[in-house]
């Protein structure tokens, strides 16, 4: 027997379907190096003081604070823990990690802050711990492992790999010992 669409249960099921939508992104869509544009702009344009999104948007090269590209960049910077404040009307402030990267007291402080920002993204941290300094597998196997063991949605796995590997290359540029081309090691912390 078919359920009447006017019953409370049917209405609730319709509301759940409307609300559900696609799952939120659990990792940044931008590499750490790109996301650093946000805290750098705050430091350079406003002396490290909090900045309204409508001013920040111009400082990072966009025109309108509701531009989806700016909002994704800002969200990435938030996910790395570099800044606090999201959305077109936000007041964005540097977090300690962001300050340590753009205005460090020493090269070691910048290096530690970059690694902390990378590990602030839970999925990146889990994948790094899983491979523990070993070489990453070939694309197909890496993709399957990410989907199966880390619940990265199949339609987002290529972006995850791109951002993750760009981050590894960027972090290695700040290492004193670049002789080992594998994942970031625990000694970097």
For the chain, what percentages of helix, strand and coil (3-state, to nearest 5) are there?
60, 5, 35
**SS3 labels along 32-65:** HHHHCHHHHHHHHHHCCCCEEHHHHHHHCCCCCC
* pLDDT tens-place string over residues 36-70: 999 999 999 999 999 999 999 999 999 999 999 99
Count of structural domains within the chain: 2
Position 11 in a domain? no
Nearest to 65 by CA among 89, 44, 41, 30: 89
Q: Give a yes or no: residue 110 inside a domain.
A: no
Distance CA 41, CA 26 (A): 25
* Predicted local distance difference test score (pLDDT) of residue 4: 52
The rounded distance, in Å, linking the Cα atoms of 31 and 118 is 9
- What does the pLDDT average to over 116-133? 94
Q: Is it the case that residue 83 has pLDDT exceeding 70?
A: yes
pLDDT 10s digits, 158-186: 999 999 999 999 998 766 443 444 455 44
Do 125 and 95 belong to one domain? no
* % of the chain beyond a pLDDT of 70: 80
Evaluate if residue 14 carries a pLDDT over 80: no
| pLDDT, mean of residues 95-101 | 97
Total-model pTM: 0.81
The answer to whether position 9 is within a domain reads no
Specify whether 37 is located in the same domain as 88. Answer: yes
160 in a domain, yes or no?
yes
Sign of CA dihedral 153, 155, 156, 157: positive
Residue 48 falls within a domain, yes or no? yes
Final residue of a domain: which of 68, 100, 132? 100
So what's the pLDDT on residue 107? 83
Domain assignment present for residue 108? The answer is no
Residue 15 in domain: no
CB 30 within 8 A of CB 17: no
Show the domain range for 40.
Answer: 32-100
Which CATH number goes with the domain that contains 96?
1.10.10.10
44 and 93 assigned to the same domain:
yes
């Amino acid at each position: 027997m078919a359920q009447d669409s006017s019953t409370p249960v049917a209405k609730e099921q319709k509301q759940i379907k409307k609300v559900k939508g696609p799952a939120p992104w659990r990792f940044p869509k931008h590499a750490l190096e790109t996301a650093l544009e946000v805290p750098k702009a705050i430091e350079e344009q406003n002396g490290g003081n909090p900045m309204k999104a409508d001013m920040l948007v111009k400082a990072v090269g966009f025109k309108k604070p509701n531009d989806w590209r700016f909002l994704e960049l800002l969200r990435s910077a938030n996910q790395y823990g570099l800044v606090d404040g999201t959305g077109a009307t936000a007041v964005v402030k540097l977090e300690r990690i962001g300050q340590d990267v753009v205005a460090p007291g020493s090269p070691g402080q910048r290096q530690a802050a970059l690694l902390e920002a990378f590990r602030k993204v839970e999925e990146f941290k889990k994948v790094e711990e899983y491979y523990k300094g070993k070489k990453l597998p070939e694309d197909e196997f890496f993709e399957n492992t990410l989907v199966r063991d880390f619940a990265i949605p199949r339609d987002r796995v290529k972006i995850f790999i791109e951002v993750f590997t760009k981050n590894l290359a960027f972090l290695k540029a700040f290492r004193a010992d670049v002789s080992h081309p594998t994942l970031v090691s625990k000694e970097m912390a």
